[in-house]
Chains A and B, each alone.
Chain A
Amino acid sequence: MGRIAPATPQTHVELRGVTKRFGGTVALDRVDLAVRAGTVHALVGENGAGKSTAGKILAGVLTPDAGQVVLHGAETVFRSPRAALDRGITMVAQELSLVPSRSVLENVFLGIESRRGPFVRGGAERFAELVAECGIEADPDATVGRMPVAEQQNVEILRALARRAELIVMDEPTARLTSEQAVALRRTVRSLAERGVTVVYVSHFLDEVLAVADDVTILRDGRAIRSGPAAAETRRSLIEGIVGRAIEAAFPPRRPRELPAPVVLRVQGLSRAGSFEEVGFDVRAGEIVTLAGLVGSGRSEVLRCIFGRDRATAGSMTLAGEPHAPRSPRRAIRDGVAMVPESRKADGLLPRRSVRENVTLPHLGRFVAPGGFVRTGGERAAAGRVTEAVGLTGATIASAMAELSGGNQQKSLFARWLVGRPRLFLADEPTRGVDVGAKRGIYDVLAGLAGEGMAVLVVSSELEEVLGLAHRILVMRGGRLVGELDGAEATRTEVMELAFGAAA
């Protein structure tokens, strides 16, 4: 286990050999990292590299499974976020934790209200002092829920400062801000550091990191790759550090497409206000197209529109030459679209019901006799056939879904659509939360679907997947399609540069 140089007097907080697991996945693997007092320290990495987890451990929101958190030179265990708060550490999370129906003032002083006896005192003076001290403007009487996100974020920062926080961990603070708002936030962050507050800044916006941070730590696959002054880094050096290694995961061989194959899905000028704009592409029969980009770049939203979960506000789609504007998933399914959603727990599974029932749910009509009775014989046969086709191992179709491993659950969601014969197969993060062995199985299923002539469109945040599976790669950034690459020839750096918007 590597050990970094002993803490200097000016080190505010340190991770030493910190490991954190979620279920079977290792989010952080023996990470060493030191944050100097009064600096802005950025954590960068791909989606899933562990940067948010590291931020949460620094903030006391999560506790490490192994290793130590060292605060001001002394090992510390935070039993709760509250305990971290008492030690002057607070977190501004991606999902803001304000009470939307109450005023700014109430939110800022929530839990630390000044009281006279049992009565809460106004706090207006105290609020004015706080604003004067830090220079962040906010109307104390405004209702938080009616404010724009950027101002809500300021309220969170004010709240942190009201608690005399010495260390603020910000997780993707600009992900939901416009560029002007992001610039304003950057100024706020710099001024905090000048006043001696330490800021840990988790972000995947590299320009922003270079502009705001004193130090940068690059994380990749749960490991800290390197730490150093931001001045010594460039966008290119950061991307190279983030991307790192060559593709080594096992993928099925890319089947040659039989060109010219018919266009199955054509998307033209598709927009949805607030999500994505002017997106246009084709997916042909027998082809796997991956949609790459950062989280929040609008990839999943495009899939939602194709599947009828959301309606597009402009543009058009055709499916096998016919106009395609599904008003509901039900319509999309009828027209031959299948979708494996991003969150299988929330949007996919009936955990208490059997694999059989889960698998046949969208196509139950095929097994229904007059009177609505389900012909269970035919249903069992079909469930057996499709679960075998996706390589569901070690479980029976009678098992409750909740008893299956993540990989088998995911395979079941693929199997579900094989009961019918979809023309277009959509998959959003198809291998999320799936162990390495099962991943290959899912890649095989996807390749098999394309091999049978389906058009396959995959959204993925995992670069290996994007590169290893695709015939063609589409890259989105900020709600727009910014590039198309050939799956066989594209490199990680090319995809990342398009996704991050780095000038090549």
Chain B
Amino acid sequence: MSPSGGAVLGRVRRLRPADFGIVWVTVALFVLLSQTSDVFLTAVNLRNVLDQQALLLIAGSALTLTLISGHFDISVSASHINAAIVTALIANESGSAVAAIAGGVAIGAAFGLLNGVVVAWVRINSFIATLATSFVFYGVGFLLSDRSIIRIADRGFSEVARGRSAGVTNATWIAVAVVVVCWVLLERTRFGRHVFAAGGNPEAARLAGVRVQGIVLATFLLSGAAAGLSGALSASKTLTAQPSDDFSFVFAVLTAVIVGGTSIAGGEGAVWRTVFGAFFTAFMLNGFNLHQIDPIVQRLIQGSVILVAVAADNWTRRRRSA
């Protein structure tokens, strides 16, 4: 920018179309599928897509904050699985749906707290730290469940996630609430500002008086609790919980966050991006099914899309810093 005349301090930030790539491609995919499939643009199909993405959106909105603060949380899968187990155990033990869900959230939060301490104070690289704690948590899951599938006896417990209001499942409503909370936290509060600062330039943040370690801890606590909530809801949805050491949930969540355009380098991103990232991948998978695309080809396309998304992110970043 060249200095011109006096100080012109405007208010409106210039919006660049290039910043909204994920919105354009999601809309384009939506239009494409509406045109090519009779089933896609039906209330039933769209409600299903929403319900399927609910758990991913819950975990992904919170994980977005962790990524913006400059860290990875691979243990989202492990927290998710453990929360389902704890929820199922409490549901069978006490019969209280509230206690069961709270228990799932609590174990996720506890795991998140541990991750936060290990990353922020012990200063282990977050990717490695949460990979390691994942294995610990998976072990805990096998111990808690005694290595077997837990079935929830009370069939009514499925209403927590599957019950409907205004034609949409409770899980979807809860996801909307979590998205809004994370969005507001990030964009409107001091905490959100500090998350951006901690991820964008931790030393500068520290020198400006930001408690960087506390902020990082809080984002891990959040992503753990959200993963716990998603696990608790999955127990309600399926009325079962099964121990495993499967990382697929966290990778699906990370894919949504990253395809949405939140930077893996930290300091940049948004919850709405994760929402679009989740719907873009959901529409893609839905389109595959509706068009009966070979599952092998699906994988090829899915992988390529992630590469393109991250490459585009790098490219715009380099152009802007040039």
Contacts and interface: CB of A to CB of B under 8 A. Distances in A.
Interface of A: 307, 309, 328-330, 333-334, 339, 341, 346-354, 357, 361-362, 364-365, 368, 371-374, 380, 384, 387-388, 391-400, 402-405, 408, 416
Given A329-B209, A330-B209, A354-B13, A393 B190 contact: no
Nearest to A387: B9
B2 interface: yes
B146 to A, nearest CB: 42
Contacts of A393: 3-4, 6-7
Contacts of A339: 207
Interface stretch (B25-33, B194-202, B231-239, B290-298): B194-202
B58 to A, nearest CB: 21
Given A339-B207, A352-B200, A393-B6, 16 more contacts: A330-B209, A348-B201, A350-B200, A350-B267, A351-B200, A351-B321, A361-B205, A364-B190, A374-B188, A374-B193, A388-B7, A388-B9, A396-B10, A397-B11, A402-B321, A405-B1
A402 B200 CA distance: 12
Interface string B10-47: 11111000000000000000000000000000000000
B188 A373 contact: yes
B43 to A, nearest CB: 36
20 contacts: A328-B206, A333-B208, A341-B207, A346-B201, A347-B204, A348-B204, A350-B200, A351-B201, A357-B196, A361-B197, A372-B190, A374-B188, A374-B189, A391-B7, A393-B3, A394-B7, A394-B8, A395-B1, A399-B13, A404-B1
A314 B4 CA distance: 50
Given A346-B203, A396-B9, A374 B190 contact: yes
Contact of B1 (A346, A351, A394): A394
Contacts of B191: 372
Contacts of A374: 188-190, 193
B210 interface: yes
A339 B206 CA distance: 12
Contacts of A328: 206
A405 B2 CA distance: 8
Contacts of B204: 341, 346-350
A51 B278 CA distance: 55
B320 interface: yes
B211 interface: yes
B313 interface: no
Contact of A402 (B9, B189, B320): B320
Given A309-B207, A372-B189, A372-B190, A394 B11 contact: no
B202 to A, nearest CB: 10
A339 B203 CA distance: 13
A328 B203 CA distance: 12
The DSSP consensus for interface residues of chain B is: loop
B83 to A, nearest CB: 26
Contacts of B207: 307, 309, 329, 339, 341, 347-348
A350 B209 contact: no
B268 interface: yes
A397 B3 CA distance: 14
Contacts of B208: 329, 333, 361-362, 416
Contacts of A397: 9-11
- From A307, A352, A371, A373, name the one whose CB has the most chain B CB atoms within 10 angstroms: A352
A198 to B, nearest CB: 38
A361 B1 contact: no
A352 B267 contact: yes
A160 to B, nearest CB: 34
A247 to B, nearest CB: 26
A350 B197 contact: yes
Contacts of A396: 8-13
A156 to B, nearest CB: 29
Given A357-B193, A372-B191, A373-B188, A384 B321 contact: no
Most buried by A among B8, B190, B209, B268: B209
Interface in B266-295: 267-268
B210 A361 contact: yes
Contacts of B200: 350-353
A384 B9 CA distance: 7
Contacts of B196: 350, 352-353, 357
A437 to B, nearest CB: 8
Contacts of A368: 189-190
Contact of B10 (A350, A373, A388, A398): A398
Contacts of A364: 190, 193-194
B205 A350 contact: yes
B209 A333 contact: yes
Contacts of A329: 206-209
A-B pairs with lowest CB-CB distance, top 8: A394-B3, A398-B13, A393-B3, A372-B189, A350-B200, A396-B10, A362-B208, A330-B209
Contacts of B2: 394
Contacts of B8: 394, 396
A398 B208 CA distance: 20
A408 B1 CA distance: 10
Contacts of A373: 188-190
Pick from B2, B9, B196, B211 the residue with the most CB of A within 10 Å.
Answer: B9
Interface in B172-225: 188-191, 193-194, 196-197, 200-201, 203-211
A43 B109 CA distance: 61
Contacts of A395: 1, 9
A346 B202 CA distance: 9
